[in-house]
Amino acid sequence: MKPIAVIPGDGIGVDVTRECMRVLKRVNEKFACALEFVEFDWSADKYLKEGVTLPAGALDFLPKDFSAILFGAIGDPRVPDNRHAADILLGMRFGLDLYANVRPVRLLHEKLCPLKNVRVQDVNFTVMRENTEGAYVNAGGVFKKGTADEVATQEEIHTRKGVERIIVYAFEHAKKHGLSKVCMSDKSNVMLYAGGLWQRCFKEVSARYPEIKPNHLYVDALTLIMVRKPTEFQVIVTNNMFGDIVTDLAAALQGGLGMAASGNINPNGISLFEPVHGSAPPMAGKNISNPMGSILTAAMMLDHLGLHDPAAAIEKAVAACVEADQTTVDIGGTLGTHEVADAVIARL
């Protein structure tokens, strides 16, 4: 058996995960995947009712009892400091050492791309976002808060181990998939200390992979080229914050946030899979959010678990629905969240 921990979270995380689960249950039957699902209600609702964010013991039992985690999205305006979201999602990313945030950027149909004269094969790369350090470690402080003399500092942490392992992960991914280049992106022209570490690590690691061409772009130039010539890229590796930002841009190349999938990978332990988008509170509960990012995320999870045929079947079914305009309004269709899942299931 392959037990899967399912955490829908908040807002449209709940909506898309509900529909994604129907698709997963269908492939589970059809391909006899032996998946078992256990749902956890870790969310703003639970936090507001019980004061619980990530329950005690979760970081122990998740890797022990489960093969993977399927996550929706988290964030709720009733928790303005996003405390529960930080505890739950960052808590798992950091606590389970999910250091490689893998975000494939693949265009399923040219009509989804806002750029002109772009073919599906022109947008096909993967962003490897460092997922456990950088600007997301919550280091810093505030002094004289609320006064005219207020001072705030926000620090980034980059470790030799953390930077090196994500760069190695990017090169290993390129090697495994027969790709010929890896682009590292930073802002080392102004962020000298962290940038210097990234530069040195990239140079050292790339020397171990002579068959793969290393390339470097400052993150501002990266965004420009992603729009002007997305064909340039095969694998991009970057830090936590830049990875967060450039993958929203990358999602736009694929048709928007509703289409983007991701995996938070610990190559030596349990991994967590989630769509790139957030909880979009104004859209929650209205049957309007696009479930395809979540469904493609489930396919990524199956592939990670070695279930390649069901993963490919899901991707094929989603692509066929896109082709036939069986989609939600964000990508030009007229269907609701539930009806898109129906269409995917029918094609399976």
- Token pair for residue 208? 């171990």
Q: Does 45 bind ligand NAD (CB under 6 A)?
A: no
Please report how close the Cβ of residue 335 comes to ligand NAD at its closest, in angstroms: 12
Task: Report the residue closest to ligand NAD, judged by CB.
Answer: 75
Please report how close the Cβ of residue 291 comes to ligand NAD at its closest, in angstroms: 7
Of 104 and 214, which has the nearer Cβ to ligand NAD?
Answer: 104
Please report how close the Cβ of residue 71 comes to ligand NAD at its closest, in angstroms: 7
Name the nearest CA neighbour of 114 among 313, 281, 296, 251.
251
Please report how close the Cβ of residue 180 comes to ligand NAD at its closest, in angstroms: 31
**164 membership: H or E segment, kind and range:** helix 160-176
Q: Does 212 bind ligand NAD (CB under 6 A)?
A: no
96 residue type, one letter: L
**Torsion sign, CA atoms 57, 58, 61, 63:** negative
Partners of residue 169 on adjacent β-strands: none
- Token pair for residue 192? 């000298």
- Phi first, then psi: what are they for 254, rounded to 5°? -95, -10
Please report how close the Cβ of residue 204 comes to ligand NAD at its closest, in angstroms: 32
Rounded Cα distance between 225 and 122, Å, is 13
Of the candidates 5, 6, 7, 12, which one interacts with ligand NAD according to CB under 6 A?
12
- Phi first, then psi: what are they for 135, rounded to 5°? -80, -5
Characterize the bridge pairing of strands 68-73 and 272-275. Answer: parallel
Of 74 and 112, which has the nearer Cβ to ligand NAD?
Answer: 74
Please report how close the Cβ of residue 293 comes to ligand NAD at its closest, in angstroms: 6
Within 14-43, the residues that bind ligand NAD by CB under 6 A are 16
Within 254-293, the residues that bind ligand NAD by CB under 6 A are 257-258, 274, 277-280, 289-290, 293
Of 271 and 289, which has the nearer Cβ to ligand NAD?
Answer: 289
Q: Are 6 and 68 in contact (CB under 8 A)?
A: no
Please report how close the Cβ of residue 270 comes to ligand NAD at its closest, in angstroms: 17
Rounded Cα distance between 249 and 103, Å, is 12
- Phi first, then psi: what are they for 236, rounded to 5°? -115, 135
- Token pair for residue 171? 């090169």
Of 194 and 340, which has the nearer Cβ to ligand NAD?
Answer: 340
Please return the burial class of 88, using the count of CB atoms within 10 Å of its CB with bins 0-12, 13-18 and 19+: buried
Q: Are 250 and 44 in contact (CB under 8 A)?
A: no
Q: Does 63 bind ligand NAD (CB under 6 A)?
A: no
Number of residues that bind ligand NAD (CB under 6 A): 19
Q: Are 290 and 260 in contact (CB under 8 A)?
A: no
Of 90 and 219, which has the nearer Cβ to ligand NAD?
Answer: 90
* Site map 67..106 versus ligand NAD, x via CB under 6 A: ------xxx------x--x---x-----------------
Within 182-201, the residues that bind ligand NAD by CB under 6 A are none
Please report how close the Cβ of residue 200 comes to ligand NAD at its closest, in angstroms: 31
Q: Does 326 bind ligand NAD (CB under 6 A)?
A: no
Please return the burial class of 246, using the count of CB atoms within 10 Å of its CB with bins 0-12, 13-18 and 19+: buried
Please report how close the Cβ of residue 256 comes to ligand NAD at its closest, in angstroms: 6
Longest dimension (CA), the chain: 64
- Give the interface with ligand NAD as residue ranges (CB under 6 A): 12, 16, 73-75, 82, 85, 89, 257-258, 274, 277-280, 289-290, 293, 330
